[in-house]
A and B are shown apart, each in its own frame.
Chain A
Amino acid sequence: MLNIVFFSALVLYFLCSVCQFVASALKKDKFGKIAFAIFLIAFLLHTGYLIARGIIAKRLPMSNQFEFATTFAWGISLLLIILRKKYDAEWITVVAMPAAALILSYAALQPMEIKELMPALRSVWFGFHIGSAAIAYSAFIIAGGASLRYLLLARKNAPDNAVKLNQMDYLSYRLIALGFLFLTITILVGAIWAEQAWSSFWTWDPKEVWALITWIVYAVYLHLHLRKKNQKMLAWFAIIAVPVVLFTFVGVNSLMPGMHSYG
Chain B
Amino acid sequence: MKKLYSFFKSMRFGLILLVLIAICSVIGSIIPQDKEVSWYVQNYQDLHGVILLCKAHRIFQSWYFIVLLALLSLNLLLCTVTRLRMLLSTRSSPDPATYSRDEAHLTETGMSILHEHMKKMHCRESRYGDAVIYKKNSFGRYGTFITHLSILLTVIFGAAALYLPTTIDQTCVPGEAITMEDGTKIAVDSFHIENESGDLDYASKVTVTLPNGKQSDLTEVSVNHPLSFGEYKIYQQTYGTAGSVTVRNTDTDGVDTLTLTDQCFLSIDGNNGMWYEAIYPGYIQEEDETITLITSTTGRYEDPVYQVLLSSDGVNTPVLAFPGEKLTVYNMEFTFNDPVEYPGLRIKHTPKLINALLIAVFVLMIIGLYITFFLQPVLVKVDDTGYAVGGPKPDGMRIELLALLENEQVEEENDEC
Contact = CB atoms under 8 A, between A and B. Distances in A.
A199 B202 CA distance: 16
B127 interface: no
Given A219-B18, A220-B19, A188 B365 contact: yes
A200 to B, nearest CB: 7
Secondary structure type dominating chain B contacts = helix
B52 interface: no
B59 to A, nearest CB: 9
Nearest to A168: B399
A1 interface: no
Interface string A188-203: 1001110111111110
A202 B396 contact: no
Given A166-B399, A174-B396, A220-B15, A119 B346 contact: no
Contacts, number: 106
Given A163-B403, A166-B402, 13 more contacts: A87-B403, A88-B407, A119-B201, A163-B402, A166-B399, A167-B403, A177-B373, A188-B362, A198-B235, A199-B235, A199-B348, A220-B15, A223-B14
A90 to B, nearest CB: 13
Interface of chain A: mostly helix, strand, loop or mixed: helix
21 contacts: A119-B223, A119-B224, A123-B224, A177-B374, A181-B369, A181-B373, A185-B366, A188-B366, A191-B362, A193-B224, A195-B161, A196-B226, A197-B223, A197-B235, A199-B235, A201-B358, A202-B158, A213-B26, A216-B25, A252-B29, A256-B29
Contact of B29 (A118, A200, A206, A226): A206
Given A181-B366, A212-B25, A120 B223 contact: yes
A196 B225 contact: yes
Interface string A167-182: 1001000100110110
Interface in A135-178: 163, 166-167, 170, 174, 177-178
Please indicate which of the listed interface residues B33, B369, B370 has the most CB atoms of chain A within 10 Å of its own CB. B369
A210 interface: yes
Q: Number of contact residues on A: which range applies? A: 35 or more
Contacts of A184: 365-366, 369
Interface in B13-35: 14-15, 18-19, 21-22, 25-26, 28-29, 33
Interface in A191-239: 191-193, 195-202, 204, 206, 209-210, 212-213, 216-217, 219-220, 223-224, 226, 228
B167 interface: yes
B375 to A, nearest CB: 12
A167 B399 contact: yes
Nearest to B355: A195
Nearest to B228: A196
A242 to B, nearest CB: 16
A223 B11 contact: yes
Given A122-B224, A213-B26, A220-B15, A201 B167 contact: no
Nearest to A178: B373
Contacts of A197: 223-224, 235
B226 A216 contact: no
Interface in B27-65: 28-29, 33, 60
B167 A192 contact: no
A50 to B, nearest CB: 24
Contacts of A113: none
Contacts of B407: 88
B19 A216 contact: yes
A170 B395 contact: yes
Contacts of B358: 201
A38 to B, nearest CB: 26
